[in-house]
Amino acid sequence: MDTRLSPDDLAALISRCTGVPVTSEQVTDPGRTFDDLGVDSLGVMGVLAELQRDHGVSKDAELLTHQSPRELLALLPGRA
């Protein structure tokens, strides 16, 4: 299981799952929430599911749209 994921990788994953173009700067900006980016709750659910499946994020992790991609990065193993 590949658990290494750079901000660029996460930005690409979010873009692919949600159709919202996202940059690596945006995913590392602590003030930028999924709501700000225009990612809805189903989009966040899909992103989280993929990270849980392929990138070692805990099955118990939860994420809501008022949180930021930066918080999601922190959920990745070896990054907390």
Partner 1 sequence: MSPATTGPAPVVTGLGVIAPNGLGVGEFWAAVRDGQLALAPIGRFEPNPYPVTVAGEVTGFEPAGWVDPRITVQTDRFTHFALAAADLALRDAALHPAEVDPFEFGVMTASYSGGVEFGQREIERLWRNGPAHVGPYQSIAWFYAACSGQVSIGNGLRGPSGVLVADEAGGLDVLAAAGGELRRGARAMLVGGAEAPFCPYAMCCQLGLGLLSTSGDPAAAYQPFTERAGGFAPAEGGAILVVEDAGAAHQRGATVKAVVAGHGATYTGRRRFDRSAQGLLRAATGALAEAGLTPDDVDAVFLDAMADPCADAAEAEALHLLLGERANRVPVTAPKAGYGRCYAAAAVLDVAAAVLALEHGLVPPTPGVRDCRFDLDLVTGAARPVDLCTVLVLSRGVYGGNSALVLRHPESPTIGGV
Give min distance, CB of 31 to partner 1, in A: 21
Give min distance, CB of 80 to partner 1, in A: 22
Give min distance, CB of 56 to partner 1, in A: 13
| DSSP for the chain, written as a single string | ------HHHHHHHHHHHHS----HHHHH-TT--HHHHT--HHHHHHHHHHHHHHS---TT----TTS-HHHHHHHSTTT-
